[in-house]
Amino acid sequence: MFMRIDHIGIACRDLEEKIELFSRLFDLEVVAREVNEEQGVKEAMLHIADGEGGGSYIQLLEPLSDDSPVGKFLAKRGEGVHHVAFGVPDVADAMSKIGEKGVRLLDERPRHGSMGSQIAFLHPKDVGGMLTELVQAAKR
Ligand code: MC0
């Protein structure tokens, strides 16, 4: 079902500061920046590698407000890994297959994600404490 790890999402308070840190430490390059109002984030994608089904990235996330998902996460847990996102060939199909196994879907239907992707989240309490995202990459 999963083709690859699409990205690891990192919650941060200051996006520009963390872009500088990750670029300097790991020689990563920012390939996309976006404000996603629906998800309440300002974000940057740092490219790691390309694979058959799409790329792999570090995603840096700064909240647009304190009551957004990432804003609440920062207040409760501080900066760090926020979610793991797996690449799937068809997000709606993956949602239905995983939903049938009793995992709570946080989205009723796929939403707009980074770089034109379609995404959906799974409840962390049903995935061993890991907020999990399904990503269908945009067609290249
Ligand atoms: C909350 N919890 C987490 C968590 N966030 N556990 C692991 N990882 C996280 N990131 C835990 C809390 O500690 C709590 O456990 C329980 O889940 C319920 O959390 P809550 O604080 O009571 O509830 P909320 O209101 O903060 O909701 C949490 C939930 C929400 C995960 C349902 O954040 C959500 O729907 N997230 C999906 C959307 C999202 O995260 N968007 C931002 C990234 P305890 O034990 O304390 O009860 S957008 C993005 O990434 C896009 C742009 C993209 O990739 O393209």
Residues 45-60: tens digit of each pLDDT: 999 999 888 899 999 9
3-state DSSP assignment of residue 31 = strand
Determine the residue of 83, 105, 108, 109 to mutate for testing ligand 1's pocket, defined as the one with the most ligand atoms within 8 A of the Cβ atom.
Answer: 83
Whole-prediction pTM value?
Answer: 0.97
Q: Rounded to the nearest 5°, which phi and psi values hold at 86?
A: -105, 135
Q: Residue 42: CB within 6 Å of ligand 1?
A: no
Tell me how crowded residue 23 is: count the other CB atoms within 10 A of its CB. Answer: 14
Q: Calculate how far, in angstroms, residue 35's C-alpha sits from the geometric centre of ligand 1.
A: 19
Q: Residue 85: CB within 6 Å of ligand 1?
A: yes
Q: Residue 39: CB within 6 Å of ligand 1?
A: yes
Q: Report the atom number in ligand 1 closest to the C-alpha of 125.
A: 17
Tens of pLDDT, residues 9-67:
999 999 999 999 999 999 999 999 999 999 999 999 999 999 888 899 999 999 999 99
Q: Is the ipTM of this complex over 0.90?
A: yes
What's the topology of domain 4-136? Answer: 2,3-Dihydroxybiphenyl 1,2-Dioxygenase; domain 1 (3.10.180)
Q: Residue 82: CB within 6 Å of ligand 1?
A: yes
Dist. CA 112–CA 115, nearest whole Å: 9
- AA identity, residue 59: Q
Bridge partners, residue 120, by sequence: 134
3-state DSSP assignment of residue 8 = strand
